Structure 1
Amino acid sequence: MKLPNVVQELIKAQNNFDSGAYANLFSETSVVHDEGKTHNGRKEVEQWIAEANEKYKSIMEPIEYTQKGNKGVLTANVSGTFPGSPLVLKFHFEINEGIIQSLKVTE
């Protein structure tokens, strides 16, 4: 499966629980939607992922990736310390010039 570099780096940062590296893959004006909450900008993204890493210890294993234009969907098996683990989740990206502009996580 061919993944854009920024998606490969996101998976690597997630699996290493590196919230700084994870957040640096997002633009300063990025938007993330997860668990019914919205996080705006790189600083909020870093805070969100640091808290999620601490709480859930999630590891991502890519299953499939599709892309149309600057939008992509990563389907991944996600395991961690959350109820129902493991789950298959979809990560809906908008990527411009190698930087994530938006991410929405769905089941």
Structure 2
Amino acid sequence: MLPDTITKYLTAHTARDLDSAMQWYADDAEVTDDGKTYRGRDEIRDWLGRAAGEYTYTTELIGDRHVDDNTYVATHHLEGDFPGGSVDLDFTFTLKGDVIRRLVIA
């Protein structure tokens, strides 16, 4: 089972609610998506804004696992108008207390 921090973040992310999603990131957080790393709240907010508008897609949580005390993986199935049209992605979260310190999407 995923912690509330991750569940609430994913809900906001899926709803494309930038303000709600951003409240779950640490000030010094990092996100790696599609081979590029975004550091700090400003870069992450820009990335979220672009990612939300680039393609139209649906997402479904299809699995989750607890890796260690601070690391969790949420596997999502996405379908949409992006190249390939369908993909399963692992969202690997590293938490620091009640906020996201690192997110790697692969």
Residues 1:41 and 2:49 are matched in the alignment: no
- The equivalent residue for 1:88 is 88
Residues 1:18 and 2:17 are matched in the alignment: yes
What is the DSSP-based 3-state SS (H/G/I as helix, E as strand, rest coil) of the residue aligned with 2:64? strand
Q: Distance in 1 between matches of 2:41 and 2:3?
A: 20
What is the DSSP-based 3-state SS (H/G/I as helix, E as strand, rest coil) of the residue aligned with 1:63? strand
The residue identity in structure 2 corresponding to 1:93 is: F
The residue identity in structure 1 corresponding to 2:79 is: S
The residue identity in structure 2 corresponding to 1:72 is: Y
* Cα deviation, residue 20, structure 1: 1.9
1:4-43 CA-to-partner distances (Å, cap 9, x unmatched) read 1111112211221112211221101001000111100112
What is the DSSP-based 3-state SS (H/G/I as helix, E as strand, rest coil) of the residue aligned with 2:61? strand
* Cα deviation, residue 3, structure 1: 1.9
Q: Distance in 2 between matches of 1:10 and 1:24?
A: 8
1:47-95 CA-to-partner distances (Å, cap 9, x unmatched) read 1011010102344311111112101111111233311222110011101
Superposition map of 1:1-107 within 5 A: 2-67=1-66, 68-106=68-106
The residue identity in structure 2 corresponding to 1:16 is: A
Q: Unpaired segments of 5 or more residues in structure 2?
A: none
Question: What percentage of residue pairs aligned between the two structures are identical?
Answer: 28
CA gap of 1:65–1:101, structure 2 versus 1, over 3 A, is same
TM-score (structure 2 length as normaliser): 0.90
TM-score (structure 1 length as normaliser): 0.89
Name the stretch that deviates more: 50-59 or 67-76: 50-59
Q: Unpaired segments of 5 or more residues in structure 1?
A: none
Whether the 8 Å CA contact 2:2–2:72 is kept in 1: the answer is: no
Q: Distance in 1 between matches of 2:27 and 2:58?
A: 25
